Amino acid sequence: MRKLLSVGFVIALILAIAISGCAGTNKTTEPSTPPSEGAKEETKKVESKPNVVIYGYVSEMTTLDPSTEFSNSIIILPNVYECLVKYTPEGLKPWLATSWESNEDGTEWIFHLRKGVKFHSGNELTAEDVKWSIERTVRMGLGASFIWDPVESIEVVDDYTIKFKLKYPANLPLIASSSYGAYIMDSKLLSKIGDDETIADYLNKGHDAGSGPYTIEKYEPKTEVVLKKFDEYWGGWSDDQFDIAIIKIVPDASLREQMVASGEIHIARDLPLDDIPKLQQDPNVVVKQKSSYQELYAMLNTRKPPLDNKLVRQALSYAVPYEDIVKYVLHDYGKAAKGPIPPGMLGYFEDLKTYTYDPEKAKELLEQAGYPNGGFKLVLTYTNGDEAEAKVAEILKAEWGKLGIDVEIRPMNWEQQWALAKSDPMKAQDVFIFYWWPTYPTPYDFLFSMFHSEDEINFNLAYYSNPEFDELIDKAVALEGTNIEKAKDLYRKAEEILMEDAPAIFLYSPDDVYVIHKSVKGFEANPGYPQVVFFYDLRAT
């Protein structure tokens, strides 16, 4: 019998594990929810105090300095800090500024600030803070500080009024709503800390100096960020709002999917698109889908033969099965592009004359260009590891192959292909597939960055140059703040030129797809603040 002791020990161990498992979950299991859901543990926590909402996010956080941050921590900043103006697809809304006005030509802007706004330190927000914050961002010259380029000087009129003088006309309220580089900080708190670098260190350690509804309670950039409600928030609080909001870093997509379905997290995005229909059947979650301001382009090398020939570029544009790509690559979670601007944004025109799939027309154009049976080779690069881009590349290769064009596909990492494109247009790739999204939602950010003439190539990866186009968009952006109809007209003309010249193929605009656990409601994606969940807007069910 004694010989059996060792086996007995093993069995006892396994039992101990199992029992400890049971004991642990029993504690939090309540009969109020059906036993079939793994969600019971979390749902219980949501119902009890404190109210907690958890957002499962794909990447680690980066820096936390609102003046310089230009990456993933965007999902924290607008919950902790606030801008003067809030962007929504329906128009600009008051945020820290309650109203604003400009002189006739849009070179002078006055913002009236909300009264009684408190920073998390207890200091009151005044015009001094606005001036200090923006001047610091400009002075540091990092991240998205370029958005303030039009600003010549900032003047404090009184505690609640601030005046911007511009070098050239611009839509300053839109700039002030930017998701990067436009947050207002507590200058009384920060200026005591030291110089700009010392302040950056202080902030990057997880301190905050904002006036937003949440403060940073715990900052572990690789695992989780815990935000706690700021009791004295000017917007006030109701009982069903969340006291605690957690951003949990879960890089693995299938894990995020399991976690949101079981209620371990409440909000997830970037899940495998093939699985979304399955999740739509799941009673535990709600799938929210909305147009993003992101668009996929295939930039065509307009300097190197044969793509320096407009007819060839047009032919390629006709030989793309736009609708099939949306169906096959995006599983219909997105739209085929109508020109360079994504749907919902200023400068998007539903009726813009764009290319549609027409292989016959493509053949004709190639013949006119002197390539009746194709017979040339194109090098196409896309970002390695991006499955959607890989599928698009395969489809283009197959379709253009039908025209006798040999496409060599080269998956490369982003910096690598970008470096290749910037080196020498004559040696660069012929087709460059990549995404664009705006720093703040103006069509100028798209049209200027990718198609305005550039002396030194940065993002104009088609090497496109057309003075008439340049002039139109430069004029349009100046009018954006004062005469929106005129600005639209000019943008439209510019986009028509772009469609005719075909320096790029406008592929599609993917939707933002969020999966929300049923215990949370009130979520709406705001394409002006990509990937951001405004926790203040959420309610517990």
Partner 1 sequence: MRYRDYVIYRLILAVFVIFGVITVVFFISRMIPSDPAALWVGAHPTPEAIEKARKELHLDEPLLNQYLYYISSLLNGDLGVSIRTHNPVVDDIKSAFTATLELILFAELLALIVGIPLGVYSAVKKDSWVDNFSRIFAISGVSLPTFWFGIILQLAFFKYLQLLPLAGRVDSVILLEHPLEIITGLYLVDSLITGNIPVFVNALHHIILPALTLAMYPVGLITRQVRSMMVEVLQENYIKTAFAYGLPSRKIYFKYALKNAIAPALITVGLSVAYTLTGAFLTEIIFNWPGLGRYAAYSILSMDYPAVLGVTIVAATTYVIVNLVVDLIQVYLDPRIKL
Contact residues toward partner 1 (CB under 8 A) are 2-3, 5-7, 9-10, 13, 17-18, 20-25, 38, 45, 50, 52, 54, 59-63, 69-71, 141-144, 146, 204, 217-218, 220-224, 226, 244, 246, 248-252, 255, 258-259, 262, 264, 385, 413, 415-416, 418-419, 437, 439, 449, 456, 458-459
Q: In this complex, which beta carbon is closest to partner 1, that of residue 5 or of residue 398?
A: 5
3-state secondary structure of 339: coil
CB of 396 to partner 1, least distance (A): 24
CB of 470 to partner 1, least distance (A): 18
Q: In this complex, which beta carbon is closest to partner 1, that of residue 22 or of residue 426?
A: 22
Exposed/middle/buried for residue 81 (C-beta within 10 Å: 0-12, 13-18, 19+): buried
Q: Is the CB of residue 435 less than 8 Å from the CB of residue 386?
A: no
Q: In this complex, which beta carbon is closest to partner 1, that of residue 357 or of residue 437?
A: 437
Q: In this complex, which beta carbon is closest to partner 1, that of residue 260 or of residue 336?
A: 260
Q: In this complex, which beta carbon is closest to partner 1, that of residue 209 or of residue 227?
A: 227
Q: In this complex, which beta carbon is closest to partner 1, that of residue 218 or of residue 427?
A: 218
Q: What are phi and psi of 151, to 5 degrees?
A: -75, 125
Q: In this complex, which beta carbon is closest to partner 1, that of residue 70 or of residue 357?
A: 70
Q: Is the CB of residue 467 less than 8 Å from the CB of residue 452?
A: no
Q: Is the CB of residue 530 less than 8 Å from the CB of residue 508?
A: no
CB of 141 to partner 1, least distance (A): 7
Q: In this complex, which beta carbon is closest to partner 1, that of residue 224 or of residue 512?
A: 224
CB of 348 to partner 1, least distance (A): 20
- Cα torsion through 329, 353, 479, 126, rounded to 10: -20
CB of 287 to partner 1, least distance (A): 21
CB of 388 to partner 1, least distance (A): 17
Report d(CA 111, CA 184) in Å as an integer. Answer: 13
CB of 252 to partner 1, least distance (A): 6
Count of residues making up the chain: 541
CB of 194 to partner 1, least distance (A): 19
Which helix (H) or strand (E) covers residue 162, if one does?
strand 161-166
Output helix, strand, coil percentages for the chain, rounded to the nearest 5: 35, 20, 40
CB of 43 to partner 1, least distance (A): 12
Which residues, 6 or more positions from 404, have their beta carbon under 8 angstroms from its beta carbon? 371, 373, 374, 375
Neighbours of 475 (CB within 10 A): 16
State in Å, rounded, how far the first CA of the chain is from the last one. 58
Report d(CA 381, CA 416) in Å as an integer. Answer: 10
CB of 151 to partner 1, least distance (A): 16
Amino acid present at 298: A
Amino acid present at 510: P
Amino acid present at 411: P
Parallel/antiparallel/unpaired status of strands 377-383 and 431-436 = parallel
CB of 353 to partner 1, least distance (A): 29
> What are the residue ranges of helices labelled H in 331-466?
359-369, 387-401, 414-423, 443-451
Report d(CA 88, CA 441) in Å as an integer. Answer: 10
Q: In this complex, which beta carbon is closest to partner 1, that of residue 365 or of residue 462?
A: 462
Q: In this complex, which beta carbon is closest to partner 1, that of residue 352 or of residue 504?
A: 504
Q: In this complex, which beta carbon is closest to partner 1, that of residue 72 or of residue 302?
A: 72
Which residues, 6 or more positions from 31, have their beta carbon under 8 angstroms from its beta carbon? none
CB of 218 to partner 1, least distance (A): 8
CB of 72 to partner 1, least distance (A): 9
Q: In this complex, which beta carbon is closest to partner 1, that of residue 158 or of residue 197?
A: 197
Eight-class DSSP state of 73: G
Short-list 190, 138, 195, CA closest to 164: 138
Handedness of CA 202, 204, 210, 216 (dihedral sign): negative
CB of 183 to partner 1, least distance (A): 15
Angle at 256 between CA 272 and CA 271, to 5 degrees: 20
| The pair of three-digit structure tokens given for residue 507, joined into one six-digit string | 């592929």
Report d(CA 466, CA 464) in Å as an integer. Answer: 7
Q: In this complex, which beta carbon is closest to partner 1, that of residue 325 or of residue 447?
A: 447
Q: In this complex, which beta carbon is closest to partner 1, that of residue 6 or of residue 281?
A: 6
Report d(CA 340, CA 498) in Å as an integer. Answer: 8
